[in-house]
Structure 1
Amino acid sequence: MENELQKKYGLMTAIAMVIGIVIGSGVFFKAEKVLTATGGNLPQGILAWIIGGIIMIVCAYVFATMATRYEKVNGVVDYAEAALGSTYGYFVGWFMAAIYYPTLTSVLAWVSARYTCVLLGWNIVGGEAMAIAGFFLVGSYALNALSPNLAGKFQVSTTVIKIIPLALMAVVGTIVGLSNGILVSNFTSGVIAEVTSNNPLFTAVVATAFAYEGWIIATSINAELKDAKKNLPLALTFGTLFVALLYILYYTGLAGAVSNSVMMKGGEAGAKLAFSTVFSNLGGTVLFVFVVISCLGTLNGLMMGCTRGFYSLAARDMGPAPKVLKCIDVNTNMPTNSSILGVLLSGVWLLYFFGANLTPVPWFGPFSFDSSELPIVTIYAMYIPIFIMIMAKEKSLHFVKRFIMPFLAICACVFMVIAAIYAHGKAVLFYLIIFCVIMIFGMMVNSKKK
Structure 2
Amino acid sequence: MDKQLDNQLEKKYGLITAISMVVGIVIGSGVFFKAEAVLKATGGNVVIGIAAWIIVGLIMIICSYTFAIMASRYEKVNGVVDYAEVIVGSRYAYYVGWFMTTIYIPALTSVLAWVSARYTCVLLGWDITGGSAMTIACFYLVGSYALNALSPVLSGKFQVSSTIIKLIPLVLMAVIGLIVGLMNGMTVSNFTNLVDTSVTKGGGIFASVVAVAFAYEGWIIATSINAELKDSKKNLPKALVIGSLIVVLVYIFYYIGLTGVVSTEVLIESGETGVMLAFKNIFGNLGGTLIFVFVILSCIGTLNGLMLGCTRGMYSLAIRGNGPIPETFKQIDRATNMPTNSAVFGVLISAMWLLYFYGANLTDPWFGRFCFDSSELPIITLYALYIPIFIMMMRKEKDLSTFRRFIMPVLSIIGCLFMVVAAIFAHGKAVMYYLIIFAIIMGIGSFFNRNVK
- Tell me the equivalent position of 2:306: 302
Paired residues for 1:213-362 under 5 Å = 213-359=217-363, 361-362=364-365
Q: In 1, Cα distance between the equivalents of 2:416 and 2:94? A: 21
SS of equivalent to 2:341: helix
2:21 matches 1:17:
yes
Give 1:5's match in structure 2, choosing from 9, 21, 34: 9
The one-letter code of the counterpart of 1:102 is P
2:370 matches 1:367:
yes
- Tell me the equivalent position of 1:134: 138
Runs of 4 or more off by more than 4 Å in structure 1? 447-450
The one-letter code of the counterpart of 2:377 is L
The one-letter code of the counterpart of 1:182 is M
Q: How many matched pairs?
A: 449
SS of equivalent to 1:61: helix
The one-letter code of the counterpart of 2:401 is H
C-alpha RMSD over aligned residues: 1.4
Contact 1:319-1:449 within 8 A present in 2 as well: no
Q: In 1, Cα distance between the equivalents of 2:283 and 2:257? A: 13
Give 1:442's match in structure 2, choosing from 433, 442, 445: 445
Contact 1:37-1:197 within 8 A present in 2 as well: no
The one-letter code of the counterpart of 2:449 is N
- Tell me the equivalent position of 2:42: 38
Q: In 2, Cα distance between the equivalents of 1:449 and 1:59? A: 29
Q: In 2, Cα distance between the equivalents of 1:282 and 1:320? A: 52
Q: In 1, Cα distance between the equivalents of 2:405 and 2:188? A: 43
- Tell me the equivalent position of 2:380: 377
- Tell me the equivalent position of 1:422: 425
Q: In 1, Cα distance between the equivalents of 2:261 and 2:111? A: 27
Q: Deviations over 1:130-157 (max 9, x none)?
A: 0000000000000000000000000000
Q: How many Å apart are 1:190 and its aligned residue?
A: 3.6
Give 2:193's match in structure 1, choosing from 169, 175, 189: 189
Q: How many Å apart are 1:191 and its aligned residue?
A: 5.0
Q: Do the aligned partners of residues 339 and 63 (structure 1) sit closer, same or farther apart at CA in structure 2, a change above 3 Å counting?
A: same
The one-letter code of the counterpart of 1:44 is I
Q: How many Å apart are 1:446 and its aligned residue?
A: 2.0
SS of equivalent to 2:161: helix
- Tell me the equivalent position of 1:167: 171
The one-letter code of the counterpart of 2:409 is P
Q: How many Å apart are 1:188 and its aligned residue?
A: 1.1
2:121 matches 1:117:
yes
Q: In 1, Cα distance between the equivalents of 2:170 and 2:19? A: 18
* Structure 2 runs not aligned, ≥5 long: none
Q: Do the aligned partners of residues 123 and 244 (structure 1) sit closer, same or farther apart at CA in structure 2, a change above 3 Å counting?
A: same
Give 2:81's match in structure 1, choosing from 73, 77, 80: 77
SS of equivalent to 1:257: coil
- Tell me the equivalent position of 1:431: 434
2:47 matches 1:68:
no
The TM-score with structure 2 as length reference comes to 0.98
Q: How many Å apart are 1:196 and its aligned residue?
A: 8.3
Q: In 2, Cα distance between the equivalents of 1:416 and 1:448? A: 30
Give 2:415's match in structure 1, choosing from 404, 412, 416: 412
Q: In 1, Cα distance between the equivalents of 2:259 and 2:279? A: 11
Q: In 1, Cα distance between the equivalents of 2:40 and 2:451? A: 48
Q: In 2, Cα distance between the equivalents of 1:256 and 1:54? A: 24
Q: In 2, Cα distance between the equivalents of 1:422 and 1:198? A: 10
2:32 matches 1:28:
yes
Q: In 2, Cα distance between the equivalents of 1:233 and 1:445? A: 32
Contact 1:78-1:89 within 8 A present in 2 as well: yes
Q: In 2, Cα distance between the equivalents of 1:270 and 1:133? A: 21
Q: In 2, Cα distance between the equivalents of 1:113 and 1:178? A: 34
Percent identical pairs in the alignment equals: 69
Q: How many Å apart are 1:80 and its aligned residue?
A: 0.4
Q: How many Å apart are 1:281 and its aligned residue?
A: 1.0
Contact 1:197-1:203 within 8 A present in 2 as well: no
Contact 1:192-1:261 within 8 A present in 2 as well: no
Q: In 2, Cα distance between the equivalents of 1:417 and 1:191? A: 28
Q: In 1, Cα distance between the equivalents of 2:440 and 2:63? A: 28
Q: Deviations over 1:13-64 (max 9, x none)?
A: 1000000000000000000000110000010100010001001100000000
SS of equivalent to 2:373: coil
* Structure 1 runs not aligned, ≥5 long: none
Contact 1:197-1:423 within 8 A present in 2 as well: no
Contact 1:320-1:449 within 8 A present in 2 as well: no
Q: How many Å apart are 1:448 and its aligned residue?
A: 10
SS of equivalent to 1:199: helix
